[in-house]
Amino acid sequence: MPSERMDSLAAVLAAIRGGSGMTQPLLTQQVGLGRSVVAARIAELEAAGLVTQAGMGPSTGGRAPRQLRLRGEAGVVVGADIGATHVHVGLADLAGQVIASADERIDIADGPEVVLARVEQIVDELRAANPDAGEVWGVGCGVPGPVEFSTGLPVAPPIMPGWDGYPIRERLSHRFAAPTWVDNDVNLLALGELRSNRHAIDSGDILVVKIGTGIGAGLVSRGQLHRGANGCAGDIGHVAVAEAENVICRCGNSGCLEAVAGGAALAREARRLAESGGSSVMAEMLAAKGSLWADDVTRAAERGDPAARALLAQSGRLVGGTLATLVSFYNPALVVLGGDVVLAGDFVLAAVREAVYRRSLPLATRTLRIEFSTLGRLAGLTGAVHLVLDELFAPARLAEWLPRGTPAGAPELADGGISSAA
């Protein structure tokens, strides 16, 4: 198809995807195309089975216009948000709505064969439990380390032994016979917010920070995800901080923020306090379970344990100190905090806010908002799903698969360096 025609088709489809109650008159206003062109593109999308009628819109004096919607049920997208200690896997429709998901603890250090085999097994289980879900149109996967987006290969990931250069995209695309995209897990967090959080959509320039086992940031500039030249933009967990000068990080260096403020550091300090008598609550947890994780610290804090609350507040202050530099440098309108550590309550959020507002330039924080992720623990999975949808419905990619009716069964669609994002 001619490029101009495909661009207009993709624009109409994007407008229908982006809002409910969309009608032909509204589309004509929104996408800036003539009525006859919009009518023709709607007809093409309906013939392709991507768009259908969704009732009638309000009349402005003449015949009531048809409302249009994306046929989300036409296919299914697989999302996998792989973190250092958890994996969240789900199925979503083509509108991005998660229809089934599973969350379980894993260890990224077990390596790609073990972790990805479990991801594949979970997908099979979810599909078996949802037999009416359509065929797989695409797969999105996030991992806790730098990724070369054009190839889907992890690149020297600091906390992922055995994953460097592993062909994640090739494996998953052939396993599910569908195009597959792989990205850093925090980038997916940012993308999930950008597609679902009204404040993020309106702000355009945002930082999304994940405080979990590791620490990372996703950067969005003028509504576009910024990955950097080698896929490691936003890797703030390995920024040097004075408080960690003599602490060895899992990456092999000393002095990293993550080594004193990430989830692994919280778990280490929790065990020390439990064994030394510094926290009776965490000592009780350790005796019952035999181990402690970062989420145990948040549970202890919720039970009123002062030692646990102090640990979380210290983590927030350290992360906030690093963010203060980024806020002054980047001047975002919105900072979104996600990850298991920060989502457990206000202990970390309050400390992050205090450090950022105290140490950033006044002009940089004049209109700055710092808030929790609106998606909570679904943010990474939602981002993985929208990564696939954004790629599939980009004009160049749409032109490749629309003539055949579906991208299912065409893993090669993810090749070639075409991308919808910066």
- Structurally, at CATH architecture level, domain 199-373 sits in 2-Layer Sandwich (3.30)
Pick the CATH number of 3-70 from 3.20.20.150, 3.30.565.10, 1.10.10.10, 3.30.300.30: 1.10.10.10
pLDDT of residue 297: 92
pLDDT of residue 1: 46
pLDDT 10s digits, 356-370: 999 998 898 999 999
Taking 70 as the threshold, does the pLDDT of residue 417 lie above it? Answer: no
pLDDT of residue 295: 85
How confident is the prediction for the chain on average, in pLDDT?
89
pLDDT 10s digits, 121-146: 999 999 999 998 889 999 999 999 89
Q: Which of 56-60, 175-179, 319-323 has the lowest mean pLDDT?
A: 56-60
Mean pLDDT of 303-307: 93
Distance CA 55, CA 397 (A): 30
Distance CA 303, CA 378 (A): 25
pLDDT 10s digits, 316-348: 999 999 999 999 998 999 999 988 887 766 788
Do 76-191+378-414 and 199-373 share a fold? yes
pLDDT of residue 243: 86
Taking 80 as the threshold, does the pLDDT of residue 230 lie above it? Answer: no
Taking 90 as the threshold, does the pLDDT of residue 56 lie above it? Answer: no
- Domain borders along the chain are 3-70, 76-191+378-414, 199-373
Q: Which of 50-59, 116-125, 294-303, 396-405 has the lowest mean pLDDT?
A: 50-59
pLDDT of residue 293: 87
pLDDT of residue 253: 85
pLDDT of residue 335: 94
Q: Under CATH, to which class is 76-191+378-414 assigned?
A: alpha beta
pLDDT of residue 422: 40
What is the value of pTM for the model shown?
0.88
Which of 353 and 199 is assigned the larger pLDDT? 353
Taking 90 as the threshold, does the pLDDT of residue 169 lie above it? Answer: yes
Which of 417 and 17 is assigned the larger pLDDT? 17
Q: Which of 147-151, 233-237, 264-268, 404-408 has the lowest mean pLDDT?
A: 233-237
Taking 90 as the threshold, does the pLDDT of residue 26 lie above it? Answer: no
